[in-house]
Amino acid sequence: MNNKKIAIIGLGYVGLPLAVAFAKHFTTIGYDINKDRIEQLKQFKDTTLETSAEELQEAKLLSYATELADIASANIYIITVPTPVDSNNLPELSPLEKASIAIGSQLKNGDIVVYESTVFPGATEEYCAKILERESGLKLNKDFTLGYSPERINPGDKVHTLQTITKVVAASDKATEIILEQLYSKIIDAGVFMAKSIKVAEASKAVENTQRDMNIAFMNELAVMFNHMGIDTLDVIETASTKWNFLPFTPGLVGGHCIGVDPYYLIHKSQESGYYPQLITTARRINESMSQYVVDRLLKKLALSRIHIVNAKILVMGLTFKENCPDLRNTRVVEIIEELTNCHAQVDVYDPWADPSQALEFFEITLKSHIKEDYYDAILLTVPHKEFIKMGESSMRKFLNKKGIIFDLKGMLPSHKVDERL
Protein backbone atom coordinates (compact mmCIF):
# COMPACT_ATOMS: atom_id res chain seq x y z
CA MET A 1 0.00 0.00 0.00
CA ASN A 2 2.95 2.33 0.50
CA ASN A 3 3.35 2.85 -3.24
CA LYS A 4 -0.17 4.23 -3.66
CA LYS A 5 -0.45 7.80 -4.88
CA ILE A 6 -3.95 9.21 -4.73
CA ALA A 7 -5.53 11.99 -6.77
CA ILE A 8 -8.81 13.45 -5.51
CA ILE A 9 -10.82 15.05 -8.32
CA GLY A 10 -12.99 17.86 -6.96
CA LEU A 11 -12.23 19.63 -3.68
CA GLY A 12 -15.68 20.56 -2.41
CA TYR A 13 -17.60 19.38 0.64
CA VAL A 14 -16.75 15.76 -0.15
CA GLY A 15 -13.36 15.84 -1.85
CA LEU A 16 -11.44 18.07 0.54
CA PRO A 17 -12.08 16.12 3.78
CA LEU A 18 -11.23 12.97 1.85
CA ALA A 19 -7.96 14.44 0.57
CA VAL A 20 -6.97 15.65 4.05
CA ALA A 21 -7.71 12.23 5.55
CA PHE A 22 -5.77 10.28 2.92
CA ALA A 23 -2.83 12.69 3.16
CA LYS A 24 -2.16 11.41 6.66
CA HIS A 25 -1.11 8.08 5.15
CA PHE A 26 -0.48 8.50 1.40
CA THR A 27 0.94 11.01 -1.04
CA THR A 28 -2.22 12.80 -2.17
CA ILE A 29 -2.94 15.37 -4.86
CA GLY A 30 -6.09 17.48 -4.66
CA TYR A 31 -7.25 18.53 -8.13
CA ASP A 32 -9.84 21.19 -8.87
CA ILE A 33 -10.55 23.37 -11.92
CA ASN A 34 -11.41 26.31 -9.63
CA LYS A 35 -8.10 28.16 -9.29
CA ASP A 36 -9.46 30.52 -6.63
CA ARG A 37 -10.43 27.52 -4.53
CA ILE A 38 -6.92 26.09 -4.84
CA GLU A 39 -5.33 29.39 -3.85
CA GLN A 40 -7.55 29.60 -0.77
CA LEU A 41 -6.62 26.07 0.26
CA LYS A 42 -2.92 26.83 -0.14
CA GLN A 43 -3.50 29.61 2.37
CA PHE A 44 -5.27 27.07 4.67
CA LYS A 45 -8.73 28.60 4.12
CA ASP A 46 -11.73 26.34 3.52
CA THR A 47 -14.90 28.31 2.75
CA THR A 48 -17.04 25.18 3.21
CA LEU A 49 -15.87 25.03 6.86
CA GLU A 50 -15.58 21.24 6.58
CA THR A 51 -11.87 21.35 7.42
CA SER A 52 -9.99 23.69 9.73
CA ALA A 53 -6.86 25.69 9.02
CA GLU A 54 -5.02 23.43 11.46
CA GLU A 55 -6.09 20.29 9.60
CA LEU A 56 -4.97 21.76 6.28
CA GLN A 57 -1.62 22.74 7.76
CA GLU A 58 -1.10 19.25 9.16
CA ALA A 59 -1.78 17.58 5.78
CA LYS A 60 1.90 17.45 4.86
CA LEU A 61 1.45 14.82 2.13
CA LEU A 62 -1.25 16.87 0.37
CA SER A 63 -0.48 19.01 -2.66
CA TYR A 64 -2.83 20.84 -5.01
CA ALA A 65 -3.19 20.97 -8.77
CA THR A 66 -5.27 22.68 -11.45
CA GLU A 67 -3.49 21.04 -14.39
CA LEU A 68 -4.06 17.43 -15.45
CA ALA A 69 -0.36 16.87 -16.05
CA ASP A 70 0.20 17.32 -12.31
CA ILE A 71 -1.94 14.28 -11.42
CA ALA A 72 -0.58 11.94 -14.11
CA SER A 73 1.70 10.19 -11.60
CA ALA A 74 -1.24 9.00 -9.46
CA ASN A 75 -2.32 5.37 -9.58
CA ILE A 76 -5.64 5.78 -7.74
CA TYR A 77 -8.08 8.45 -8.91
CA ILE A 78 -11.09 9.30 -6.73
CA ILE A 79 -13.77 11.41 -8.42
CA THR A 80 -16.00 13.53 -6.16
CA VAL A 81 -17.64 15.95 -8.58
CA PRO A 82 -21.28 17.06 -8.12
CA THR A 83 -24.16 15.27 -9.83
CA PRO A 84 -27.12 17.68 -9.98
CA VAL A 85 -30.34 17.56 -11.99
CA ASP A 86 -31.34 19.84 -14.86
CA SER A 87 -34.40 22.08 -15.18
CA ASN A 88 -36.50 19.02 -16.01
CA ASN A 89 -35.19 17.13 -12.95
CA LEU A 90 -33.23 14.73 -15.13
CA PRO A 91 -29.70 13.64 -14.14
CA GLU A 92 -27.14 16.24 -15.19
CA LEU A 93 -24.04 14.17 -15.85
CA SER A 94 -21.83 16.77 -17.53
CA PRO A 95 -19.55 17.26 -14.47
CA LEU A 96 -19.15 13.47 -14.26
CA GLU A 97 -18.52 13.24 -18.00
CA LYS A 98 -15.88 15.98 -17.96
CA ALA A 99 -14.12 14.40 -14.97
CA SER A 100 -14.16 10.98 -16.65
CA ILE A 101 -12.75 12.45 -19.88
CA ALA A 102 -10.01 14.19 -17.92
CA ILE A 103 -9.01 11.08 -15.97
CA GLY A 104 -9.31 8.90 -19.05
CA SER A 105 -6.68 11.04 -20.73
CA GLN A 106 -4.25 10.27 -17.90
CA LEU A 107 -5.11 6.62 -17.26
CA LYS A 108 -2.33 4.01 -17.22
CA ASN A 109 -2.13 0.23 -16.93
CA GLY A 110 -2.89 -0.89 -13.38
CA ASP A 111 -4.68 2.31 -12.33
CA ILE A 112 -7.87 2.32 -10.25
CA VAL A 113 -10.65 4.88 -10.73
CA VAL A 114 -13.10 5.30 -7.85
CA TYR A 115 -16.31 7.29 -8.09
CA GLU A 116 -17.86 8.84 -4.98
CA SER A 117 -20.43 11.00 -6.78
CA THR A 118 -24.07 10.01 -6.33
CA VAL A 119 -25.39 8.35 -9.49
CA PHE A 120 -28.18 6.04 -10.62
CA PRO A 121 -27.51 2.28 -10.48
CA GLY A 122 -25.35 1.22 -13.41
CA ALA A 123 -23.86 4.65 -14.18
CA THR A 124 -20.32 3.80 -13.06
CA GLU A 125 -19.94 0.68 -15.19
CA GLU A 126 -22.29 1.48 -18.07
CA TYR A 127 -21.57 5.19 -18.53
CA CYS A 128 -18.34 6.26 -16.84
CA ALA A 129 -16.33 3.14 -17.77
CA LYS A 130 -17.08 3.61 -21.46
CA ILE A 131 -15.74 7.18 -21.33
CA LEU A 132 -12.59 6.01 -19.54
CA GLU A 133 -12.04 3.26 -22.13
CA ARG A 134 -12.63 5.61 -25.05
CA GLU A 135 -10.28 8.31 -23.78
CA SER A 136 -7.51 5.98 -22.59
CA GLY A 137 -7.63 3.20 -25.14
CA LEU A 138 -7.52 0.78 -22.20
CA LYS A 139 -9.96 -1.97 -21.24
CA LEU A 140 -11.87 -2.27 -17.97
CA ASN A 141 -10.76 -5.17 -15.74
CA LYS A 142 -7.88 -5.88 -18.09
CA ASP A 143 -5.85 -2.68 -18.01
CA PHE A 144 -7.59 -0.67 -15.27
CA THR A 145 -10.31 -1.29 -12.68
CA LEU A 146 -13.19 0.60 -11.12
CA GLY A 147 -14.39 1.28 -7.61
CA TYR A 148 -17.44 2.97 -6.18
CA SER A 149 -17.79 4.38 -2.68
CA PRO A 150 -20.79 6.67 -2.13
CA GLU A 151 -20.09 9.79 -0.15
CA ARG A 152 -22.01 10.17 3.11
CA ILE A 153 -20.80 13.59 4.19
CA ASN A 154 -23.37 15.60 6.16
CA PRO A 155 -22.38 19.27 5.66
CA GLY A 156 -21.95 21.17 8.90
CA ASP A 157 -22.15 18.02 11.05
CA LYS A 158 -19.16 17.81 13.38
CA VAL A 159 -20.33 14.55 14.97
CA HIS A 160 -21.08 12.38 11.95
CA THR A 161 -17.88 13.03 10.03
CA LEU A 162 -16.03 11.16 7.29
CA GLN A 163 -14.17 9.07 9.87
CA THR A 164 -17.20 8.17 11.99
CA ILE A 165 -19.56 6.99 9.21
CA THR A 166 -19.31 3.43 7.90
CA LYS A 167 -17.84 3.54 4.38
CA VAL A 168 -19.59 1.54 1.68
CA VAL A 169 -17.14 0.28 -0.95
CA ALA A 170 -17.50 -1.82 -4.11
CA ALA A 171 -15.18 -2.69 -6.99
CA SER A 172 -15.21 -4.20 -10.46
CA ASP A 173 -13.03 -7.17 -9.48
CA LYS A 174 -11.90 -9.02 -6.35
CA ALA A 175 -8.33 -7.75 -6.33
CA THR A 176 -9.50 -4.14 -6.42
CA GLU A 177 -12.00 -4.85 -3.64
CA ILE A 178 -9.14 -5.91 -1.40
CA ILE A 179 -7.05 -2.85 -2.26
CA LEU A 180 -9.91 -0.40 -1.69
CA GLU A 181 -10.95 -2.04 1.56
CA GLN A 182 -7.39 -1.66 2.87
CA LEU A 183 -7.17 1.90 1.52
CA TYR A 184 -10.38 3.21 3.07
CA SER A 185 -9.78 1.29 6.31
CA LYS A 186 -6.78 3.55 6.87
CA ILE A 187 -9.00 6.61 7.24
CA ILE A 188 -12.43 5.32 8.37
CA ASP A 189 -12.67 4.59 12.09
CA ALA A 190 -16.23 3.27 11.75
CA GLY A 191 -15.14 0.54 9.37
CA VAL A 192 -15.71 -0.43 5.73
CA PHE A 193 -18.71 -2.34 4.40
CA MET A 194 -18.08 -4.19 1.14
CA ALA A 195 -21.20 -4.09 -1.05
CA LYS A 196 -22.05 -7.08 -3.22
CA SER A 197 -21.58 -5.04 -6.41
CA ILE A 198 -21.07 -1.52 -7.71
CA LYS A 199 -24.74 -1.33 -8.68
CA VAL A 200 -25.79 -2.27 -5.15
CA ALA A 201 -23.54 0.45 -3.71
CA GLU A 202 -24.90 3.02 -6.19
CA ALA A 203 -28.49 2.06 -5.34
CA SER A 204 -27.86 2.16 -1.59
CA LYS A 205 -26.75 5.79 -1.73
CA ALA A 206 -29.78 6.88 -3.72
CA VAL A 207 -32.07 4.96 -1.35
CA GLU A 208 -30.57 6.56 1.79
CA ASN A 209 -31.57 10.05 0.73
CA THR A 210 -34.80 9.00 -0.96
CA GLN A 211 -35.95 7.48 2.33
CA ARG A 212 -35.33 10.78 4.12
CA ASP A 213 -37.10 12.68 1.34
CA MET A 214 -40.18 10.48 1.68
CA ASN A 215 -40.26 10.77 5.49
CA ILE A 216 -40.05 14.56 5.28
CA ALA A 217 -42.77 14.58 2.60
CA PHE A 218 -45.02 12.68 5.01
CA MET A 219 -44.44 15.34 7.67
CA ASN A 220 -45.03 18.12 5.14
CA GLU A 221 -48.35 16.59 4.18
CA LEU A 222 -49.25 16.32 7.86
CA ALA A 223 -48.41 20.03 8.25
CA VAL A 224 -50.88 20.91 5.50
CA MET A 225 -53.53 18.55 6.89
CA PHE A 226 -53.21 19.71 10.49
CA ASN A 227 -53.25 23.37 9.50
CA HIS A 228 -56.73 22.79 8.05
CA MET A 229 -57.71 21.06 11.31
CA GLY A 230 -56.30 23.81 13.52
CA ILE A 231 -53.73 21.50 15.12
CA ASP A 232 -50.05 22.34 15.69
CA THR A 233 -48.00 19.78 13.74
CA LEU A 234 -44.91 20.04 15.93
CA ASP A 235 -47.03 19.41 19.02
CA VAL A 236 -48.33 16.25 17.35
CA ILE A 237 -44.80 15.11 16.46
CA GLU A 238 -43.59 15.77 20.02
CA THR A 239 -46.45 13.70 21.41
CA ALA A 240 -46.05 10.85 18.91
CA SER A 241 -42.31 10.75 19.67
CA THR A 242 -43.04 9.33 23.12
CA LYS A 243 -43.45 5.95 21.36
CA TRP A 244 -40.08 4.22 21.01
CA ASN A 245 -40.36 3.38 17.30
CA PHE A 246 -41.76 6.69 16.01
CA LEU A 247 -39.42 8.50 13.59
CA PRO A 248 -39.39 12.18 14.62
CA PHE A 249 -38.87 13.86 11.25
CA THR A 250 -40.15 17.43 10.99
CA PRO A 251 -41.78 19.39 8.16
CA GLY A 252 -39.86 21.97 6.17
CA LEU A 253 -38.08 22.87 2.98
CA VAL A 254 -36.00 20.14 1.32
CA GLY A 255 -32.92 21.49 -0.41
CA GLY A 256 -29.23 20.74 -0.53
CA HIS A 257 -27.10 18.61 -2.79
CA CYS A 258 -28.56 15.21 -1.86
CA ILE A 259 -32.08 14.78 -0.48
CA GLY A 260 -33.76 16.99 -3.07
CA VAL A 261 -31.71 15.53 -5.93
CA ASP A 262 -30.95 11.84 -5.43
CA PRO A 263 -34.57 10.63 -5.71
CA TYR A 264 -34.66 11.95 -9.27
CA TYR A 265 -31.69 9.73 -10.17
CA LEU A 266 -33.58 6.72 -8.82
CA ILE A 267 -36.80 7.76 -10.59
CA HIS A 268 -34.92 8.23 -13.87
CA LYS A 269 -33.32 4.79 -13.81
CA SER A 270 -36.55 3.12 -12.73
CA GLN A 271 -38.51 4.70 -15.58
CA GLU A 272 -35.73 3.72 -17.98
CA SER A 273 -36.12 0.15 -16.71
CA GLY A 274 -39.86 0.15 -17.31
CA TYR A 275 -41.38 1.00 -13.92
CA TYR A 276 -42.81 4.38 -12.88
CA PRO A 277 -42.27 4.79 -9.11
CA GLN A 278 -45.40 6.39 -7.69
CA LEU A 279 -44.60 6.84 -4.00
CA ILE A 280 -41.16 8.38 -4.54
CA THR A 281 -42.53 10.71 -7.23
CA THR A 282 -45.40 11.84 -5.02
CA ALA A 283 -43.00 12.58 -2.15
CA ARG A 284 -40.91 14.71 -4.47
CA ARG A 285 -43.98 16.60 -5.65
CA ILE A 286 -45.06 17.33 -2.08
CA ASN A 287 -41.63 18.59 -1.06
CA GLU A 288 -41.26 20.68 -4.21
CA SER A 289 -44.55 22.41 -3.40
CA MET A 290 -43.60 23.53 0.11
CA SER A 291 -41.99 26.85 -0.85
CA GLN A 292 -45.26 28.04 -2.43
CA TYR A 293 -47.22 26.65 0.50
CA VAL A 294 -45.13 28.69 2.95
CA VAL A 295 -45.67 31.83 0.89
CA ASP A 296 -49.43 31.20 0.79
CA ARG A 297 -49.54 30.72 4.57
CA LEU A 298 -47.54 33.90 5.12
CA LEU A 299 -49.76 35.93 2.78
CA LYS A 300 -52.87 34.72 4.61
CA LYS A 301 -51.37 35.60 8.00
CA LEU A 302 -50.40 39.05 6.76
CA ALA A 303 -53.93 39.63 5.45
CA LEU A 304 -55.47 38.55 8.76
CA SER A 305 -53.09 40.97 10.50
CA ARG A 306 -54.26 43.77 8.17
CA ILE A 307 -50.81 44.04 6.57
CA HIS A 308 -50.86 44.53 2.80
CA ILE A 309 -48.30 42.46 0.93
CA VAL A 310 -47.48 45.28 -1.51
CA ASN A 311 -44.46 47.11 -0.05
CA ALA A 312 -44.61 44.96 3.09
CA LYS A 313 -41.18 44.84 4.70
CA ILE A 314 -40.25 41.21 5.29
CA LEU A 315 -37.07 39.92 6.93
CA VAL A 316 -36.06 36.39 5.90
CA MET A 317 -33.73 34.94 8.51
CA GLY A 318 -31.71 32.14 6.93
CA LEU A 319 -30.64 31.45 3.33
CA THR A 320 -28.52 28.29 3.50
CA PHE A 321 -30.19 24.95 2.87
CA LYS A 322 -29.61 23.78 6.46
CA GLU A 323 -28.60 25.06 9.87
CA ASN A 324 -25.09 26.01 11.04
CA CYS A 325 -23.61 25.47 7.60
CA PRO A 326 -22.61 27.86 4.76
CA ASP A 327 -23.90 25.53 2.03
CA LEU A 328 -26.19 27.35 -0.41
CA ARG A 329 -26.59 24.52 -2.92
CA ASN A 330 -30.19 23.98 -3.98
CA THR A 331 -31.56 26.09 -1.13
CA ARG A 332 -35.35 26.40 -1.39
CA VAL A 333 -35.41 29.63 0.59
CA VAL A 334 -34.60 31.41 -2.68
CA GLU A 335 -37.96 30.33 -4.12
CA ILE A 336 -39.77 31.95 -1.20
CA ILE A 337 -37.81 35.17 -1.62
CA GLU A 338 -38.56 35.27 -5.36
CA GLU A 339 -42.29 34.72 -4.85
CA LEU A 340 -42.54 37.40 -2.15
CA THR A 341 -40.63 39.80 -4.38
CA ASN A 342 -43.01 39.01 -7.23
CA CYS A 343 -45.81 40.05 -4.87
CA HIS A 344 -44.02 43.43 -4.57
CA ALA A 345 -42.91 42.91 -0.99
CA GLN A 346 -39.64 44.47 0.16
CA VAL A 347 -37.56 41.47 1.20
CA ASP A 348 -34.35 41.65 3.23
CA VAL A 349 -32.26 38.54 3.92
CA TYR A 350 -30.00 37.95 6.92
CA ASP A 351 -27.80 34.89 7.36
CA PRO A 352 -24.60 34.92 9.46
CA TRP A 353 -23.43 31.64 7.89
CA ALA A 354 -23.89 32.34 4.20
CA ASP A 355 -21.07 33.83 2.13
CA PRO A 356 -22.29 37.27 0.94
CA SER A 357 -20.29 37.02 -2.30
CA GLN A 358 -21.84 33.64 -3.14
CA ALA A 359 -25.36 34.86 -2.32
CA LEU A 360 -24.83 37.77 -4.70
CA GLU A 361 -23.18 35.68 -7.42
CA PHE A 362 -25.60 32.73 -7.40
CA PHE A 363 -28.90 34.39 -6.48
CA GLU A 364 -28.41 38.17 -6.84
CA ILE A 365 -29.25 38.50 -3.16
CA THR A 366 -27.48 41.14 -1.07
CA LEU A 367 -27.30 39.86 2.48
CA LYS A 368 -27.91 42.31 5.31
CA SER A 369 -25.10 42.73 7.81
CA HIS A 370 -27.24 44.78 10.18
CA ILE A 371 -30.93 44.45 11.03
CA LYS A 372 -33.04 47.56 11.53
CA GLU A 373 -35.17 47.78 14.66
CA ASP A 374 -38.89 48.67 14.73
CA TYR A 375 -38.98 48.29 10.95
CA TYR A 376 -40.31 44.99 9.57
CA ASP A 377 -43.90 43.85 9.05
CA ALA A 378 -42.90 40.21 9.23
CA ILE A 379 -40.00 37.94 10.11
CA LEU A 380 -39.79 34.60 8.32
CA LEU A 381 -37.57 32.16 10.25
CA THR A 382 -36.39 29.70 7.61
CA VAL A 383 -33.16 28.14 8.93
CA PRO A 384 -32.56 27.25 12.61
CA HIS A 385 -29.03 28.61 12.93
CA LYS A 386 -27.76 28.53 16.51
CA GLU A 387 -27.43 32.34 16.44
CA PHE A 388 -31.15 32.70 15.80
CA ILE A 389 -32.11 30.26 18.54
CA LYS A 390 -29.83 32.10 20.97
CA MET A 391 -31.32 35.43 19.88
CA GLY A 392 -34.78 34.36 21.00
CA GLU A 393 -38.21 35.82 20.43
CA SER A 394 -37.83 38.98 22.51
CA SER A 395 -34.79 40.16 20.55
CA MET A 396 -36.48 39.33 17.25
CA ARG A 397 -39.56 41.37 18.21
CA LYS A 398 -37.34 44.46 18.33
CA PHE A 399 -36.94 44.23 14.56
CA LEU A 400 -40.72 44.36 14.05
CA ASN A 401 -43.08 47.30 13.99
CA LYS A 402 -46.14 47.26 16.25
CA LYS A 403 -48.21 45.05 13.95
CA GLY A 404 -45.30 42.84 12.88
CA ILE A 405 -45.54 39.04 12.96
CA ILE A 406 -43.13 36.10 13.29
CA PHE A 407 -43.60 33.03 11.08
CA ASP A 408 -41.43 30.10 12.22
CA LEU A 409 -40.83 27.38 9.62
CA LYS A 410 -38.66 25.06 11.72
CA GLY A 411 -39.99 25.27 15.26
CA MET A 412 -37.06 27.35 16.47
CA LEU A 413 -39.23 29.07 19.04
CA PRO A 414 -42.02 27.79 21.31
CA SER A 415 -45.44 27.91 19.64
CA HIS A 416 -46.79 30.54 22.04
CA LYS A 417 -43.89 32.85 21.19
CA VAL A 418 -44.65 33.10 17.46
CA ASP A 419 -47.64 34.19 15.41
CA GLU A 420 -47.50 31.31 12.94
CA ARG A 421 -45.46 28.16 12.45
CA LEU A 422 -45.41 25.40 9.89
Asked whether residue 304 is assigned to any structural domain, the reply reads yes
**Is 349 found in the same domain as 266?**
yes
Asked whether residue 78 is assigned to any structural domain, the reply reads yes
Instruction: Please give the sequence-ordered ranges of beta strands (E in DSSP) within 271-334, or none if there are none.
Output: 313-317
The region that residue 109 occupies, defined by phi over 0 for left and psi between -120 and 50 for alpha, beta otherwise, is beta
Q: Is 258 a catalytic residue?
A: yes
**Is 134 found in the same domain as 64?**
yes
Beta bridge partners of 78: 8, 114
**Is 180 found in the same domain as 227?**
no
Asked whether residue 204 is assigned to any structural domain, the reply reads no
Asked whether residue 184 is assigned to any structural domain, the reply reads yes
CB atoms < 10 A from the CB of 400, how many? Answer: 20
**Is 383 found in the same domain as 253?**
yes
**Is 236 found in the same domain as 171?**
no
159 confidence band (pLDDT: 50, 70, 90): confident
**Is 238 found in the same domain as 175?**
no
**Is 281 found in the same domain as 187?**
no
1 confidence band (pLDDT: 50, 70, 90): low
**Is 344 found in the same domain as 250?**
yes
158 confidence band (pLDDT: 50, 70, 90): confident
Asked whether residue 203 is assigned to any structural domain, the reply reads no
Q: Measured between alpha carbons, how far is 69 from 54 in angstroms, rounded to an integer? A: 29
The pLDDT of residue 33:
94
Whether the pLDDT of residue 112 is over 90: the answer is: yes
The model's pLDDT over 17-64, given as tens digits with 9 standing for 90+, comes to 999 999 999 999 999 999 999 999 999 999 998 999 999 999 999 999
**Is 303 found in the same domain as 417?**
yes
Average pLDDT over residues 71-75: 95
Asked whether residue 211 is assigned to any structural domain, the reply reads no
**Is 395 found in the same domain as 257?**
yes
Q: Record the pTM.
A: 0.92
DSSP per-residue codes, 306-319: T--STT-EEEEE--
**Is 245 found in the same domain as 116?**
no
How open is the CA angle 229-230-231, to the nearest 5 degrees? Answer: 95
Q: What percent of the chain lies above the pLDDT cut of 70?
A: 100
| Type of residue numbered 224 | V
Asked whether residue 206 is assigned to any structural domain, the reply reads no
Whether the pLDDT of residue 157 is over 80: the answer is: no
Average pLDDT over residues 70-76: 95
Choosing from 128, 258, 325, 343, the catalytic residue is 258
**Whole domain around residue 387: which residue ranges?**
222-421
The model's pLDDT over 131-151, given as tens digits with 9 standing for 90+, comes to 999 999 999 999 999 999 999
- Number of domains composing the chain: 2
2 confidence band (pLDDT: 50, 70, 90): low
Q: Specify the pairing of strand 112-115 against strand 145-148.
A: parallel
Whether the pLDDT of residue 233 is over 80: the answer is: yes
Asked whether residue 209 is assigned to any structural domain, the reply reads no
Whether the pLDDT of residue 301 is over 90: the answer is: yes
CATH classification of the domain holding 165? 3.40.50.720
How open is the CA angle 294-296-302, to the nearest 5 degrees? Answer: 100
Structural contact between residues 17 and 50, judged by C-beta atoms closer than 8 angstroms: yes
**Is 169 found in the same domain as 273?**
no
Q: What is the 3-state secondary structure (H, E, C) of 137-175?
A: CCCECCCEEEEECCCCCCCCCCCCCHHHCCEEEEECCHH
